[in-house]
Amino acid sequence: MSIVPENPTPAYPGRRWQARHYPGTRSTCTRFRTELRSDLRALAGVPRSLCEDIELCGSEAFANAVTHSRSQRPGGTVVRMLSTPIVMGRETTLRLSVIDDGPMDTRPMCPPPRRSVEEWEQAESGRGLLLIHQLASEWGTQRWADPTLPAVLGTVLWAEFTYPTPTTMTCVCGGGR
């Protein structure tokens, strides 16, 4: 259980939350989202709609990790990191990073065949990265090596969300849901 401070604190350059580690199972997504919401509530001035966007993108990134990577194997993990790398004048940037255990196969992947509009409308999956693309200010992926285990390569999906830097220290993420 996480504890939310009574008085949310402002963002500042270089602020990092403690990395959170999750089992690579789909059933863990609820815990992932709840803890992300709690961490966002501890930050002053984040608009509620942005909190919801970040939670949604985080859930999609987590689902991708446990569906398409070695994180889904027994003992697999997903790591979530949250930071404010940039606070410049009128804007603050939050960076969400979701790190998986790397691709299922080391062979190069062939791109999937293109889908028609009708196929996209009928598809039950495959829109997570499109959603992140639409909601995040910037996003991308890169290979990642755990400094404690240099042989283990994973993939980090990062997404940045920019919002106006608050002039007063009020929390707009909090409140009942």
What own/partner pairs with CB < 8 Å and gap ≥ 24 does 5-10 have?
5/42, 7/169, 8/41, 8/42, 8/43, 8/44, 8/45, 8/169, 8/170, 8/171, 8/173, 8/174, 9/42, 9/43, 9/44, 9/169, 10/43, 10/44, 10/45, 10/166, 10/169
The CATH number assigned to the domain holding 151 equals: 3.30.565.10
CA–CA separation, 56 and 131 (whole Å): 9
Tens-place pLDDT, residues 67-89: 989 899 999 999 999 998 876 77
Q: Among 13-17, 19-23, 29-33, 69-73, where is mean pLDDT lowest?
A: 13-17
- Structural domain harbouring 39: 20-105+125-164
What pTM was computed for the model?
0.78
- Asked whether residue 96 is domain-assigned, the answer is yes
**Residue-level pLDDT at 6:** 54
Tens-place pLDDT, residues 1-14: 444 445 656 666 66
- Asked whether residue 110 is domain-assigned, the answer is no
